[in-house]
Structures are given as C-alpha cells and as structure tokens.
Chain A
C-alpha cells in the first residue's frame, strides 16, 4: 500500500486553481521530493493532505485513510509546514509540551526530540529569541514527537544558512535510514538531488512529472530537468 495518495485533488480559491487534479502515490519507505516553482501549489497540496485546508474536489489519504480519520495522527505522521507554528512567548520545551499533552505523549519524549535536533541547550529559551534555523529544528522536533513512520516536510531548509542545510541533510539521511517515508518540498534542487529517491514536479497546480530521480533527470542534473519540465520557471 502506498503511504500517501492524492486522488484527483483540486483546490480552488475563487476561480483560481491552486491545485488542479493532482493524482499521485507516494511509496512507503522512500524519500520523495515535491518540487515546483513558487506558487505552484506544493504547500496547498500538503495542507489539503493534512486536513488544514478543504479540497474543492478529490481527496487524499495517508496509510489508506484521510488525515482527519487517523487515530492519534502524530504517532503516524510528523508534519513541518512552516517555522511560524510556535508561540513566541513560550520556551521551545513548553511549546512541545503543549503538543505532547494533546497527543498523549509523555513529557520525557520532549527532552529526547530536543536532543535529537540538538536544541537541548536552548530548550528553556523563549522561541521569540530563536534564530530561523533553531525554529526549523524545533519544527522538526515537533514532527518527531510521536516517532512517526511518515514525515511531511514543507520547505524545511527555508532560511537556513549553509551550516544549517548541511545539518538538515545529515539529519534527513539518518531519518531515512530508519525506513521512514519522507515527502519533502524544497527549492534546494542540488540538495534534493543528493537526498531523494523519487521526484514529483508540480507547475501551475498540475503535476508535470513523477518518477524515480533517474527517470526524471535522464542524465541531466535535477535542476536542468526541473527547468525543462517547468518551461524555465524558477
């Protein structure tokens, strides 16, 4: 069974299509890169996938059921949508303890995931004082709270400096070695080429390519393939 399935998903805002008839399956145990120019519909697709936005038509499932129907979803799916999802006045640890309580996860796990993303030293610092890189790490810690098999990461490298990107690359590789299914959207095409097994490319809301990395690149770099498939859109 595919881990994630988009079934003819469409999302419109007024007359504008944000996502248009997206139909694709994400295989279990693989890292799939979800690529597309700005405004292509990547984030909207992911928001529909995790139930934050209602599709205009079609549907999507995770492990065979809609996200809203998952029992204790954090134990099955970890999600990073942006780095804004934390209260600035709370410490990193307090933010995670709020999420842990809602998911019925023991507070001890909060310390574990903070250590995993190397934020233990800043655990009791208010998030308002975190750098963007630290917020991204905190988002990853939140996604790992329930030790899920599936990770959905929307632009996790956004705003990271080269050191942060290198850290993220190593971190994702470690996660992938554990057999997790990872769906990751990113603009960092060179990074993605070194990380992903499969690729989805979306442009103007429509899926324009999907397959293994080698199928998509056909001997080119991922960037060259991306530009070819999206008509030069960057």
Chain B
C-alpha cells in the first residue's frame, strides 16, 4: 500500500502526465468529431460504403473515441523509463530494495492511471462525436450498448496498454527511443499487419481493442470488416494475455538489472 501511494504521487506530481491526458482528450475528441464530416452523406449516398443514416456508420464514428490509446501506452513508458532518465530509480530501489514489490506497485498504478486516461478521453470523444452528429440530418442512433462497450473496452485496453508501456519502459531504458519504437509499431507496423494479414493481425493490440467494441461495420472501401475480428470477450482475453506476458518481462528485467 505504501508503494502504491508513492507511485500514485509520482503520477500526480509529474506535469507531463497531465499533458498526456490533455493530449488523449484532444485526439479522441478531434478524431471522433472530424469523422462525421468525412462520412457525412453526399446527396444522400454513402461515403466509403459507410452511411451515417445507419447504425453501423454512427458506431464507426464513435469507435474513434478510443484513439487516445497511444497516450495510455506512453504513460506506462514514462512511469518506468522516467525513473532511469531522472535517476530516481536509485531512490526508488533504495527505499524498497525488494524489487518485485516496486514492479507490482508500478504495474498496478500504471494500469489504473492508463485506464482512467482512456475512460476520460473516450467520454470526451463520445461527447465530441455526439455534438458533431447533431449537424447531420437523420443521423442514426448508435447501437444500444455502444457507450457501455466503449467504456469497458477503454478501461481494459487502458489498463493493459499501461502495463505494456511499463514493460517497454523497463526493457528500453532510453525514454525517447522507447516512445519512438512504440509509435513506429502502433502507427506503421500494426496497421500494415492488420491490412496485409487480417486473419493473423486481428490478434494484435489494435485489432483486439477494436474487437472489444463489438462493432458491426463492413466497409470494404476502408478495408474494415469487423466480422473478421474476434468476439469481444475473446479479444479481451487475448489483450489481458498480452498484459500478463509484458508484466512478466518487466518483472524479470527489473529483478536482474544493476541500477545505475
């Protein structure tokens, strides 16, 4: 409990963490809102095979409310790599030399903080999407459980991404390098794999997060068919498994390494 309080204080005191929250809110809100004019019907027709007069079209707008996930993973990275960057790892491990306790506390706080970041940014995205949809005549209503699914998926994805981020920050002590590697993976490698190998790539984090939203979108023009994705609970299970593997990596690495 003492370590949890200490780690929570680190999250609260460090201003860049609040910057990440603002960034996540901004990206989620803008990402959701701008989808509306992009998909808005041109003379009543569908754009990219998606119509905002249909529930699936509106759902695809709200799906962008989880766009802040990149900030959740960066938060996890900063919580660990920041210790090495600022040299605070020394004080941390001097105070609690049983390192597994520190890593457990960090994993828990990273999961909690990243989940909170995702939920807040998803709600902001949802509100922005709702406001933007008011400008569209005859826009359909979203599916019944979309908001609930969005919040649950955000919470779980945020928690797991926080854990994955922390593990990356443990493996790659150079903070900038850790962030660049993560961004390259999430923005280039993961989407490429998803487009080229949809059957395999649906098991990767981006595909799993989308699957948890339980959307029903078939837009060949956009290369999206959510019917190819895993069922929500199965996707959640795989995402948690990712988190467990990465948590193990973080634990193993921290326990063995000399602290500079």
Point out residues on A near B: beta carbons under 8 Å: 47, 50-54, 67-68, 70, 73-74, 79, 81-82, 84-90, 94-95, 97-99, 101-104, 142
B14 & A52 in contact (Cβ 8 Å cutoff): no
With both chains docked as a complex, state the minimum distance between the C-beta of B57 and any C-beta of chain A, in angstroms.
44
In Å, the complex CA distance between A186 and B230 comes to 62
- Say whether, besides A98-B10, A142-B91, A86 and B97 are in contact (CB < 8 Å): no
Q: List A contacts of B98 (CB < 8 A).
A: 68
In Å, the complex CA distance between A139 and B6 comes to 18
A-B contact pairs, 29 of them (CB 8 A): A50-B94, A50-B97, A51-B94, A52-B93, A52-B94, A67-B97, A68-B97, A73-B94, A73-B97, A79-B94, A84-B86, A84-B87, A84-B90, A85-B88, A85-B91, A86-B86, A86-B88, A87-B88, A89-B14, A89-B15, A89-B16, A94-B13, A98-B13, A98-B88, A99-B6, A101-B2, A101-B9, A102-B5, A103-B95
B9 & A86 in contact (Cβ 8 Å cutoff): no
Neighbour of A85 across the interface among B6, B16, B90, CB < 8 A: B90
B258 within 8 A of A: yes
Q: List B contacts of A85 (CB < 8 A).
A: 86-88, 90-91
With both chains docked as a complex, state the minimum distance between the C-beta of A172 and any C-beta of chain B, in angstroms.
20
Q: Is the interface of B mostly helix, strand, loop or mixed?
A: helix
Neighbour of A86 across the interface among B91, B95, B258, CB < 8 A: B91
- Say whether, besides A50-B97, A73-B95, A101-B9, A86 and B87 are in contact (CB < 8 Å): yes
Considering the complex, which residues of chain B in the window 5-25 have a beta carbon less than 8 Å from any beta carbon of chain A?
Answer: 5-6, 9-10, 13-16
In Å, the complex CA distance between A95 and B10 comes to 9
B2 & A53 in contact (Cβ 8 Å cutoff): no
Q: List A contacts of B91 (CB < 8 A).
A: 85-86, 98-99, 142
With both chains docked as a complex, state the minimum distance between the C-beta of A113 and any C-beta of chain B, in angstroms.
14
With both chains docked as a complex, state the minimum distance between the C-beta of A76 and any C-beta of chain B, in angstroms.
11
In Å, the complex CA distance between A10 and B94 comes to 21
With both chains docked as a complex, state the minimum distance between the C-beta of B107 and any C-beta of chain A, in angstroms.
15
Tell me which of B3, B6, B86, B95 has the highest count of chain A C-beta atoms within 10 A of its own C-beta. Answer: B95
Q: List B contacts of A95 (CB < 8 A).
A: 88
In Å, the complex CA distance between A51 and B93 comes to 8
Residue of B nearest to A128 (CB): B86
Q: Mark B75-106, 1 if CB is under 8 A from A, else 0.
A: 00000001000111011111111100000000
Neighbour of A51 across the interface among B15, B87, B88, B97, CB < 8 A: B97
In Å, the complex CA distance between A183 and B88 comes to 22
In Å, the complex CA distance between A101 and B13 comes to 13
Q: List A contacts of B148 (CB < 8 A).
A: none
A97 & B86 in contact (Cβ 8 Å cutoff): no
B188 within 8 A of A: no
B88 & A103 in contact (Cβ 8 Å cutoff): no
B42 within 8 A of A: no
Q: List A contacts of B258 (CB < 8 A).
A: 47, 52-54
Neighbour of A104 across the interface among B2, B86, B259, CB < 8 A: B2
With both chains docked as a complex, state the minimum distance between the C-beta of B240 and any C-beta of chain A, in angstroms.
28
Q: Mark B219-236, 1 if CB is under 8 A from A, else 0.
A: 000000000000000000
B93 & A101 in contact (Cβ 8 Å cutoff): no
Residue of A nearest to B258 (CB): A53
**11 new A-B contacts at CB < 8 Å, known A50-B94, A101-B5:** A52-B94, A53-B259, A82-B90, A85-B91, A87-B13, A88-B86, A94-B13, A98-B10, A98-B91, A101-B2, A104-B2
